[in-house]
A and B are shown apart, each in its own frame.
Chain A
């Protein structure tokens, strides 16, 4: 029998995270808006670090991190539920105690230098595969790593790298065997910033501030290879695939928060003698929004569940990501419309959500790439219609 309920523990974790976000994080929203509109960073790094430290002290740490590293290992479904709660605010906050999934491939020495300090929040990583000439077609990367004695020398450029401005080390993917390309010719390297790579911020229309990274004869020893030489591409695909459901999960929280704003506003805003909530034109927008939010919720939890079960979650994640990104943009557009002129002003945060959520249809695989993945899986018979949870 299909069971959609949460366990008591899951519900309590959700409620506690919601309470933390409401009481500790949302009060910073006005400050974030002020800072951003003054052209300053959204939030002082110290304030964010204090908040994360308070969260850790309260025991919110390492939601999906293995227990041997001090985490809770609550699994992908709980991670998605937590992300729905953190997505309710636009303050760029997330709980600590997290490391990119592929960093668990570190050898013992690398674990001490990279994995554990990242989980502890002492180091910051970024993941670099996209290049100016290779975005969605990651197999075509050109960044090269060439053997020189016992070292590797890396040359190339990466772009749209999330966290690239702040990271002190990068997981960079470079071609080590051009004859084999993605099929055994790409290797992942752990490269400290002080080994020589440079970053340049890329201004965007939203809060997301990615970077271009330049590698100009950056020399790294063999000990910086993550995993095995030539086995980088599967690692990259794992990184991309494992956490994709987190994007629609956050979008659900954002959309629910905004829809509540619209509901509240529609019941108090009067036009032609009636609250605008009395008008069908508004009601349909509210109803359609919830239908889309709810459908995203179950698609997302299904994708997370597949990850947690150790099943292939790529197809389900693509569906959830595509639907969630489109949903969030529909909802924010309707919420802005319901607020009328006020929605378009900078007095309310809706325009900010509007700009931020537009990104969801682009990063971590565009709408078009998700559709391509879904269609190919169907056309090639990798996925069959008619199943439930298979």
Chain B
């Protein structure tokens, strides 16, 4: 089984993140860039399947040249190789354009299974697995908290607010995972040293047969036109208890629709 894991480099969500003032895109230059946290769960799931069923795990990343660092880190966890789609024309791409590029890259990899995180911590749109599956004409099993592979049958437990749903599909398919699915492994010392020697192929838009006009700012179906800093937090309401503190609290919670 050939598994492709989508890995995105994002600004560390634990540190301050900014948008660029010139074009409103994510400011990667000033950020501490890391692997999107949810993607580490996707990598772990792919490696677990590989350990049980054999096959190959390929990391696929679309991003600027600096994303190589995250790709190497992903490889140090255990995947066999990586493909990095990097092209200056990609800057400013929307989700729709991104899905086009990723689908084109996956199409060249002949994958049986595509695993990705359910969302990225920078965009948080949660649409990528659906869009890629639609473009490839294959099933999307999204929001998995558990994935079972039995031959060519994939079964997931889809996490919902009320509980979970059991959903199945045949390979090839796209599976997106939440952080409840496993506990990602640490890259081992050996893995870190070995990652440098693993194949990493860089592809341009031309290699994928995607026209530059379909991506980046030119091909964007949506564009961020303006941004501003979140206003500073307002001081909270203080409830002075003069015998009716409890009532006041309930009234507040009710007015804010917390209860």
Query: In the complex the two chains form, is A16's CB within 8 Å of B187's CB?
Result: yes
Q: Which residue of B lies closest to A72 (CB)?
A: B189
A58 located at the interface, meaning its Cβ lies under 8 Å from any Cβ of chain B in the complex: yes
Contact A8:B72 (CB < 8 A) given known A59-B191, A72-B193: yes
Which partner residue on chain B sits nearest A55 by CB separation?
A: B186
Tell me if B189 and A8 are in contact (CB < 8 A). Answer: no
Give the CA-CA distance A59 to B196 in the complex, in Å: 17
Q: Are B188 and A9 in contact (CB under 8 A)?
A: no
Using Cβ atoms and an 8 Å threshold, which residues of chain B touch A16?
186-187, 192
Question: Which residues of chain B are near A61, meaning CB under 8 Å?
Answer: 189
Q: Identify which of residues 147-190 in chain B touch chain A, using a CB-to-CB cut-off of 8 Å.
A: 185-190
Q: Which of B66-113 contact A (CB under 8 A)?
A: 69, 72-73, 76
- Which residues on B sit within 8 Å (CB–CB) of A160? none
Q: Is the CB of B193 within 8 A of A58?
A: no
Docked Cα-Cα span, A79 to B195, in Å, equals 20
Residues of A within 8 A of B188 (CB): 58-60
A60 adjacent to B72 (CB under 8 Å): no
A9 lies within 8 A of B196 (CB): yes
Q: Which residue of B lies closest to A58 (CB)?
A: B186
Are A12 and B186 neighbours in the complex by a CB distance under 8 Å?
Answer: no
Min CB gap B33→A, angstroms: 13
Contact status A9-B192, CB under 8 Å: yes
* Complex CA–CA separation, A20 to B196 (angstroms): 22
Contact between B186 and A74, CB atoms less than 8 A apart = no
Q: Which of B73, B185, B190 contacts A12 (CB 8 A)?
A: B73
Considering the chains assembled together, what is the distance between the CA atoms of A12 and B189 in angstroms? Answer: 9
* Minimum C-beta distance from B72 to chain A (A): 6
Question: What is the interface size of chain B, counting residues whose CB is below 8 A from a CB of the partner?
Answer: 15
Question: CA of A47 to CA of B186 in the docked complex: distance in angstroms?
Answer: 19
Which A residues, 162 to 191, have Cβ-Cβ distances below 8 Å to chain B?
Answer: none
Segment 45-75 of A: residues with Cβ below 8 Å from B: 58-61, 63, 72, 74
A8-B69, A20-B186 given. 7 additional CB < 8 A pairs? A12-B192, A13-B192, A16-B187, A60-B186, A60-B188, A61-B189, A72-B189
Q: How far is the CA of A17 from the CA of B210 in the complex (A)?
A: 41
* Residues from chain B with Cβ under 8 Å of A13 in the complex: 189, 192
Min C-beta distance of A13 to chain B, whole Å: 5
**Is A271 interfacial (CB-CB < 8 Å)?**
no
> Could you tell me the distance in whole angstroms from the C-beta of A85 to the nearest C-beta in chain B?
13
Which A residues fall within an 8 A CB radius of B?
8-9, 12-13, 16, 19-20, 58-61, 63, 72, 74
CB–CB B69/A59 < 8 A:
no
Looking at the assembled complex, report how far the CB atom of B44 sits from the nearest CB atom of chain A, in whole angstroms.
12
Question: B residues within 8 A CB of A9?
Answer: 192-193, 195-196
28 A-B pairs in the complex with CB atoms less than 8 angstroms apart: A8-B69, A8-B196, A9-B193, A9-B195, A12-B72, A12-B73, A12-B76, A12-B192, A13-B189, A13-B192, A16-B186, A16-B187, A19-B186, A20-B186, A58-B186, A58-B188, A59-B186, A59-B187, A59-B189, A59-B190, A59-B191, A60-B188, A60-B189, A61-B189, A63-B189, A72-B189, A72-B190, A72-B193
For residues 134 through 153 of chain B, which have their beta carbon under 8 Å from a beta carbon of chain A? Answer: none
Q: Which chain B residue has the least Cβ–Cβ distance from A67?
A: B190
Q: Measured between C-beta atoms, what is the minimum distance from A66 to chain B in Å? A: 14
A20 proximity list for chain B (CB < 8 A):
186
| Cα(A59)–Cα(B73), bound, Å | 15
**Which A residues are in CB contact (< 8 Å) with B190?**
59, 72
Residues in B with CB closer than 8 Å to A63 are 189
Bound complex: CA A40 to CA B96 (Å): 60
CB distance from A94 to the nearest CB of B (A): 15
Q: Tell me the bound Cα distance from A74 to B72 in angstroms.
A: 19
Bound complex: CA A58 to CA B188 (Å)? 6
Please, how many angstroms separate the alpha-carbon atoms of A13 and B189 in the complex? 6
- How many Å lie between the Cα of A16 and that of B74 in the bound state? 12
Shortest Cβ distance from A188 into chain B, in angstroms? 31
Q: Give the distance to chain B from A12, nearest Cβ to Cβ, in Å.
A: 5
Interface flags, B186-224, vs A, CB<8A=1, else 0: 111111110110000000000000000000000000000
Q: Which of B76, B188, B191, B196 has the most CB of A within 10 A?
A: B188
CB distance from B28 to the nearest CB of A (A): 18
A69 to B160, CA, bound (A): 48
A300 to B82, CA, bound (A): 37
CB proximity of B179 to chain A, nearest CB, Å? 14
Complex alpha-carbon distance, A60 and B188, angstroms: 6
CB closest chain-A residue, reference B190: A59
Q: How far is the CA of A59 from the CA of B190 in the complex (A)?
A: 7
- Chain B residue at minimal CB-CB distance from A97: B189
**Docked complex Cα distance between A20 and B188 (Å):** 11
Q: Name the B residues within 8 Å of A72 (CB-CB).
A: 189-190, 193
Roughly how many angstroms separate A16 CA and B186 CA in the complex, as a whole number? 7
Residues on the B chain within 8 Å of A19, using CB: 186
Q: How far is the CA of A168 from the CA of B25 in the complex (A)?
A: 62
- Which residue from chain A places its CB closest to the CB of B34 in the assembled complex? A15
> How far apart are B13's CB and chain A's nearest CB, in angstroms?
15
Contacts of A60 in B (CB 8 A): 186, 188-189
Separation in Å of the A118 CB from the closest CB of chain B?
19
